[in-house]
Amino acid sequence: MLACDGLWDWITPSTAARVLDEAAPAAAAGEAPGLAAAARALVQAALDRGSDDNVSVVVVDVSVPG
């Protein structure tokens, strides 16, 4: 996951990891929308906490199928 300071100033790494862990089953099943939903959830969480900065989040699945 890549994100700008608009996220990291408001969301802890452990919170971000929890959100991504919740999206992992859908992503493992080949449902890319699960990753997009995780990115949207992280952006919304930062906005809900008061971020008024640019909040950019990119989630990329780099797992190797096998």
Domain boundaries, the chain: 2-58
pLDDT band at 31, cuts 50/70/90? low
- State the pTM of this model: 0.79
Going by C-alpha positions, the residue among 2, 20, 16, 18 that lies closest to residue 46 is 16
CB 7 within 8 A of CB 43: yes
**Tokens (6 digits) for 35:** 């990753």
CA 29 – CA 2 distance, rounded (Å): 22
CA 38 – CA 17 distance, rounded (Å): 10
Tell me the average pLDDT across 11-27.
84
